[in-house]
């Protein structure tokens, strides 16, 4: 499963490619290794560790993360951790004409906050959310995910925290973490820096794919509330709050309505909607979803509309969380820019048939998802119309 490299790999539990130093030739049986001029001591050759790559630390990290990864395994996972590839047995009898869906994403500069705070066990949830909630938009059930962690230095305990978050996210999404890599990049990243990405695979029946072609006149938009900023717009957030705003991550901001510090607020994990959406698909007449990420509601909802229909979004149906007000106020950001950049409190939009609106909202409420009627589908030209003003108080 997970291997540790700087693109010269060591497999978990295994050994380096050679037992000699890089560039040397292993001695053959019955021969004496070349030792230079007689009587002259030979200078010890350079090692991988001296170049900044610690294979042993990587192997230790893999051993520490195994139990957390195993907890994500679905019955379809074949084998364990340590191979060159993750194996997943797709149940071909379960589907008539299965389509595999794939999605790749990262977390972005939210990682800077995590590294400054020294909190590494939540960004993995963000990673999984960004991947699986793109998969479910087309109706695909997330099956498995592979991760990639690039770091300046492999610190086993920190790597385990990161992967523990990814494993948590996979369990929330109902998918397996079947493989990945930890790559040590000394000289490219500082010892305390890292970046993460992931690729997920899902499956959907060919005749059950959701999308714009299913959306109909009179359909209803249902909003699924976000947990906060999620994982988009953090370059702007850091600029207006920590840069120009000179705020400190360890400051408790009363306007946020909680006793969390600013840093803790900014690290609230992205909501994972995958299983909620799959349940909606099973129980309600769902025509499409829109995952609200970078681009906000207008930039993402438009991707789920046919050319002859518009989406009317009623701003008065909800109020964004206080963190959005703080960012807008500190940065003097106008409402159009806020809506183009952030989710504004809506993490996912479901487009459902009008007869199933109450059933859908009740189902989501039972799953402890904040949901409400956001708007409707009307005749138009494939545009999103943002109308009204957000509620206050």
pLDDT at 74 over 90: no
Greatest extent of the chain over all pairs of C-alpha atoms, in Å = 92
Quick one: 272 exposed, middle or buried, by C-beta within 10 A (0-12, 13-18, 19+)?
buried
HSE value, Cβ hemisphere, 13 Å, CA-based, for 150 = 14
pTM score, whole prediction: 0.85
Length of the chain: 393
- Does residue 348 contact residue 227 with C-beta atoms inside 8 Å? no
pLDDT at 52 over 80: no
- Does residue 223 contact residue 313 with C-beta atoms inside 8 Å? no
Distance CA 340, CA 295 (A): 5
Q: Kindly report, residue by residue over 185-214, the tens digit of the pLDDT.
A: 999 999 999 999 999 999 999 999 999 999
139 vs 23, more confident: 139
Region 139-163 average pLDDT: 95
pLDDT at 41 over 70: no
Q: What is the dihedral of CA 146, 128, 125, 338, to 10 degrees?
A: 140
What pLDDT does residue 81 have?
A: 65
Which residues sit opposite 377 in a β-bridge? 311
Region 79-93 average pLDDT: 79
Quick one: 135 exposed, middle or buried, by C-beta within 10 A (0-12, 13-18, 19+)?
buried
Q: What is the dihedral of CA 247, 248, 250, 255, to 10 degrees?
A: 0
Distance CA 364, CA 157 (A): 37
Q: Kindly report, residue by residue over 231-273, the tens digit of the pLDDT.
A: 999 999 999 999 988 999 999 998 888 788 999 999 999 999 9
Alpha carbon distances (Å) from 254 to 118, 162, 201, 259, 262: 23, 30, 42, 8, 10
Extract the runs of DSSP E, i.e. beta strands, from the chain.
Answer: 2-5, 77-78, 87-88, 98-106, 141-151, 176-184, 194-205, 220-225, 286-291, 309-314, 346-352, 371-379, 384-387
Distance CA 273, CA 276 (A): 5
6 vs 197, more confident: 197
Rounded to 5°, angle at Cα 72 from 66 and 77: 90
What pLDDT does residue 64 have?
A: 66
Q: What is the dihedral of CA 133, 134, 138, 143, to 10 degrees?
A: -70
Q: For residue 329, what are its two tokens?
A: 């106020």
Q: For residue 44, what are its two tokens?
A: 């010890």
Q: For residue 5, what are its two tokens?
A: 């490299």
What pLDDT does residue 18 have?
A: 31
What pLDDT does residue 48 have?
A: 62
Residues with Cβ within 8 Å of residue 282, at least 6 apart in sequence: none
Distance CA 350, CA 224 (A): 8
Residues with Cβ within 8 Å of residue 284, at least 6 apart in sequence: 352, 353, 356, 359, 360, 363
Distance CA 277, CA 292 (A): 14
């Amino acid at each position: 499963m997970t291997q540790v490299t700087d693109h010269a790999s060591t497999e978990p539990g295994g050994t380096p490619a050679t037992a000699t130093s890089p560039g040397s030739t292993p001695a053959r049986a019955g021969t004496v290794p070349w030792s230079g001029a007689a009587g002259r001591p030979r200078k010890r050759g350079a090692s991988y560790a001296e170049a900044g790559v610690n294979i042993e630390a990587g192997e230790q990290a893999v051993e520490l993360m195994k139990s957390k990864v195993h907890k994500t395994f679905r019955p379809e996972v074949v084998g364990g951790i340590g191979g060159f590839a993750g194996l997943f047995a797709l149940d071909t009898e379960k589907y008539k004409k299965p389509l595999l869906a794939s999605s790749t994403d990262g977390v972005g500069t939210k990682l800077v906050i995590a590294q400054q705070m020294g909190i590494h066990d939540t960004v993995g949830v963000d990673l999984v959310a960004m991947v699986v909630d793109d998969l479910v938009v087309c109706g695909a059930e997330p099956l498995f995910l592979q991760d990639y962690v690039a770091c300046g230095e492999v610190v086993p305990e920190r790597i385990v925290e990161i992967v523990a978050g990814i494993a948590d996210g996979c369990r929330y999404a109902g998918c397996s973490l079947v493989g990945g890599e930890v790559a040590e990049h000394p000289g490219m990243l500082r010892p305390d820096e890292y970046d993460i990405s992931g690729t997920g695979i899902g499956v959907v029946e060919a005749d059950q794919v959701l999308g714009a072609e299913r959306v109909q006149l009179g359909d209803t938009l249902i909003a699924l509330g976000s947990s906060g900023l999620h994982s988009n717009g953090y370059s702007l957030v850091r600029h207006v709050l920590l840069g120009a705003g000179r705020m400190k991550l360890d400051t408790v901001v009363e306007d946020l309505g909680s006793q969390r510090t600013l840093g803790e607020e900014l690290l609230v994990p992205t909501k994972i909607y995958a299983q909620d959406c799959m349940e909606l698909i099973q129980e309600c007449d769902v025509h499409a979803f829109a995952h609200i990420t970078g681009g906000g509601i207008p930039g993402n909802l438009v991707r789920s509309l046919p050319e002859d229909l518009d989406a009317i979004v009623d701003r008065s149906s909800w109020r964004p969380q206080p963190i959005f007000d703080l960012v807008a106020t500190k940065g003097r950001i106008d409402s159009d820019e806020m809506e183009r950049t952030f989710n504004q409190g809506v993490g996912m939009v479901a487009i459902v048939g009008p007869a199933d609106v109450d059933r859908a909202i009740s189902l989501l409420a039972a799953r402890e998802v904040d949901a409400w009627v956001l708007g409707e589908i009307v005749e138009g030209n494939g545009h999103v119309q943002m109308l009204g003003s957000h509620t206050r108080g």
